[in-house]
A and B are shown apart, each in its own frame.
Chain A
Amino acid sequence: MRRHRSRLTDAAVLAALLAGAVVTLAPFVLSVATAAKTTRQFAATPVLSPPAPPTAENVVALFGRDYDFVTPIAVTAQVVLVVLAGQLLFSVLAAYAFARLEFPGRDALFWLYLATLMVPQVVTIIPLYLMMTDAGLRNTFWALVLPYLFGSPYAIFLLREHFRAIPQDLLDAARLDGAGTVRILRHVVVPASRPILVTLAVITVVTHWNNFLWPLVITSGRTWQVMTTATAGLQTQYNGNWPIVMAATTVSVVPLIVLFLVFQRRIVRSITITGFR
């Protein structure tokens, strides 16, 4: 009796999970299906019908001269790579200092870093716009990356926790062998913290691939458009031409979804450890 009832519950639970999965995935499937229709197909056939036959026309057009989505992809990739390199490097340096060195002002400085976590992005965009304009950097590549380049207090906070857990013996042994700070970082600290560094790298890529408000504010025209601003612009300009717009949204999310699927185990685990965003 008990077994029978629990099997029934299991079936209900599975059904509920499946329903949730359908609701979650449907928008993705629908946008890909629409991206695979010609404008004429989209207008002539029911919205929910599958593309018959599917066409790559929209995606091809997207990379053509009219829409030029190559530029936003290239700009976004460059921004993400530069920010990633800067954030990892400078966060590691700072976290090591906070975790392993003793110096006057350490605790006060660390609290200062933590306090900045409370500052919302929308509060800083106006002053940052002013500063970038005064520095003559508005609508440049540097305006896109500079605010994020020098490490993030959040990453420093996370790394500090991990660096504190490295056994002192390891560091002492390296120091006895005559290793300086740079060599200790490269050969002891970084190899011992590889999982959290990979996690941080993925978080940084996701966050900056998806960043919208700052690029929207600080760039104008097509030269420095990123994926998000280009997608928003396309939607405004071709309002109603949903196949081409859905091609753009598909192209925007596919790289991240691939990254997510490759690193899914680590991401799913790390979300709860780091609570990122």
Chain B
Amino acid sequence: MSPRRRAETRTAYLLLAPSLFGVVVFLLVPVLVVLGLGMFRWDLIGPRTFVGAENLLAVAADGRFARSLLVTAFFVVIVIPVQTVLGLATALLLDRGLPGTTVFRVVFVLPWICAPLVLGVVWRWILSPTDGALNALLGVRVEWLADPALALPSVAAVTAWTQIGYVALFFLAGLQAIPATVVEAARLDGASAWQLLWRIRLPLLRPTLFFVLVTGVISSFQVFDSVYALTPNGGPQGVTDVVAGRIYYEAFENRAVGQAAVMAVVLFVILVAVTVAQQRWFARRTTYELDT
């Protein structure tokens, strides 16, 4: 190595040292620790005892963990279509470029800037049965968060409410990237508004759709703050006991840290699998690209 190269290498590693320390100590080591911790029994305070596969077996037999995976799947299945369709609809409305569009855009993103925990607390009041705003508005007395049939859809609706404006921004950027000439040409060929959407806009929005779905699914799988605020301890009969919450309660309330660590690893594996699956699904299908 020439002295110059050696000097450059030294500079580079000096510049990288702090962030490398952070990445190793606060991201890589924790992943290794969580893998190891799954083989220990620990109650947060006392000594850690090696128990081998005991936690793994306990988690496999734990009906509540299986339920939390199911709850999370349901949650994702409700939130993703709702926020994607409404986000796209909002973007289509904004794309018409009517006066006030800038203001609407800012308004719609507002919930997304605020802490999900805090908005969860606000909605907990709005949805509360006797003195909440929604029941007062509708003149009914519905137990939105205490009724086992309604709790999960309610929580999912609140979460979607915080995301729609954010999702819309991506679709709007995607729509505005479509050259006006393409849309104009289709119009001249007599395409209806509906055909324009399905045949021209949506196929060209595929990369945006991919991004919105992948990031949306990954973050919905990890939902915690808003669910914690709206329905603590897993909600009525555990119907809102999402997996991130299950891990939290298992570790920090039940103090079964080893089992919680196993659950965390399972969630991690699921998330990686979901990402890879989505990547493949989108890669297999035709994509349309415009030369610009």
Chain B interface (Cβ within 8 Å of chain A)? Answer: 5, 8-9, 11-13, 15-16, 18-23, 25-34, 37, 42, 44, 90, 93-94, 96, 98, 100, 104-111, 113-119, 121-126, 128, 131-133, 136-137, 161, 165-166, 169-170, 172-173, 211, 215, 218-219, 221-222, 224-225, 228-229, 232, 244, 247-248, 251-252, 257, 260-261, 264-265, 267-268, 271-272, 275
Chain A, 142-164, CB within 8 A of any chain B CB: 146-151, 153, 156
From A272, which residue of chain B is reached at the shortest CB distance? Answer: B173
Contact with B along A170-210 (1 / 0, CB 8 A): 00000000000100000000000000000000000010011
Q: How far is the CA of A109 from the CA of B260 in the complex (A)?
A: 30
Main secondary structure of the interface of B (DSSP, over half): helix
Task: List, in ascending order, chain B residues with CB within 8 A of A147's CB.
Answer: 22, 26
Complexed CA–CA distance, A149 and B13 (Å): 18
Query: Is A245 in contact with B121, judged by CB distance below 8 angstroms?
Result: yes
Contacts of B173 in A (CB 8 A): 272
A96 and B15 contact, Cβ closer than 8 Å, known pairs A31-B122, A131-B29, A260-B110: yes
Instruction: Using known A-B contacts A235-B229, A246-B122, A249-B122, determine if residue A123 contacts B115 with beta carbons closer than 8 Å.
Output: no
Name A185's closest neighbour in chain B (CB-CB). Answer: B15
B122 touching A123 by the CB < 8 A rule? no
CB distance from B232 to the nearest CB of A (A): 8
In the complex the two chains form, what is the Cα distance from A125 to B224 in whole Å? Answer: 13
**Known interface pairs A116-B27, A213-B224; A47-B244 also in contact (CB < 8 Å):** no
Q: Name A228's closest neighbour in chain B (CB-CB).
A: B117
Q: How far is the CB of A266 from chain B (nearest CB, A)?
A: 12
Q: Is A38 an interface residue (CB 8 A)?
A: no
Point out residues on A near B: beta carbons under 8 Å. Answer: 10, 13-14, 16-17, 20-21, 23-28, 30-31, 34, 42-43, 46-48, 89-91, 93-94, 96-98, 101-104, 106, 109, 112-113, 116, 118-131, 133, 146-151, 153, 156, 181, 206, 209-210, 212-213, 217, 227-228, 231-232, 235-236, 240, 242, 245-246, 248-249, 252-253, 256-257, 260-261, 264, 267-268, 271-272, 275, 277
Residues on the A chain within 8 Å of B23, using CB: 112-113, 116, 150, 153
Q: Give chain A nearest CB distance to B267 CB in angstroms.
A: 7
- A48-B137, A130-B37 known; A24 vs B19 contact (CB < 8 Å): no
A147 to B24, CA, bound (A): 11
How far in angstroms is the closest Cβ of chain A from B259?
10
> Smallest distance from the beta carbon of B17 to chain A beta carbons, Å?
8
B136 touches A24 (CB 8 A): no
A-B contact count (CB 8 A): 269
Q: Are B9 and A103 in contact (CB under 8 A)?
A: yes
B5's partner among A102, A112, A217, A264 (CB-CB below 8 A) is A102
20 example contacts (A-B, Cβ-Cβ < 8 A) are as follows A13-B93, A16-B93, A20-B108, A24-B165, A30-B126, A120-B271, A127-B33, A127-B34, A129-B251, A131-B25, A146-B26, A150-B18, A153-B27, A212-B228, A228-B225, A235-B121, A245-B125, A249-B119, A253-B114, A264-B106
**How far is B206's CA from A185's CA once the two chains are assembled, in angstroms?**
38
CA distance A116 to B28 in the complex (A): 7
The 5 A-B residue pairs with the shortest CB-CB distance, nearest first, are: A150-B22, A127-B33, A210-B115, A127-B30, A151-B19
Contacts A103-B9, A120-B267, A130-B42 aside, 19 further interface pairs with beta carbons under 8 A come to A28-B110, A47-B136, A90-B18, A101-B8, A118-B275, A119-B31, A123-B31, A124-B27, A125-B251, A126-B264, A130-B257, A212-B115, A212-B228, A217-B248, A217-B252, A249-B119, A268-B169, A271-B169, A272-B169
Q: Taking A102-B8, A116-B28, A232-B229 as contacts, is the C-beta distance between A47 and B16 under 8 angstroms?
A: no
Q: Which chain B positions have C-beta within 8 A of A253?
A: 114-115, 118-119
Q: How far is the CA of A118 from the CA of B272 in the complex (A)?
A: 7
Q: Establish whether residues B131 and A210, one from each chain, have CB atoms under 8 Å apart when the complex forms.
A: no
Known contacts A21-B107, A126-B260; is-contact A209 B115 (Cβ 8 Å): yes
A206 partner, pick from B113, B126, B131, beta carbons under 8 A: B113
A268 touches B106 (CB 8 A): yes
Given A119-B268, A235-B229, are A126 and B247 also a contact pair (CB < 8 Å)? yes
**Cα-based distance from A40 to B164 in the complex (angstroms):** 36
Residues of A near B265 (CB, < 8 A) are 123
Q: Are B115 and A93 in contact (CB under 8 A)?
A: no
Q: Are B98 and A93 in contact (CB under 8 A)?
A: no
| A232-B117 CB under 8 A given contacts A103-B9, A127-B29 | yes
When C-beta atoms are compared, the residue in chain B nearest to A42 turns out to be B131
Given contacts A156-B19, A242-B125, contact A252 B118 (CB under 8 A): yes
The answer to whether residues A277 and B37 also contact, given A127-B29, A252-B118 and a CB cut-off of 8 A, is: no
User: Chain A: which residue is nearest B136 at the CB level?
Assistant: A47
Q: What A residues does B211 contact at CB under 8 A?
A: 275
- Closest-CB distance, B211 to chain A (whole angstroms): 7
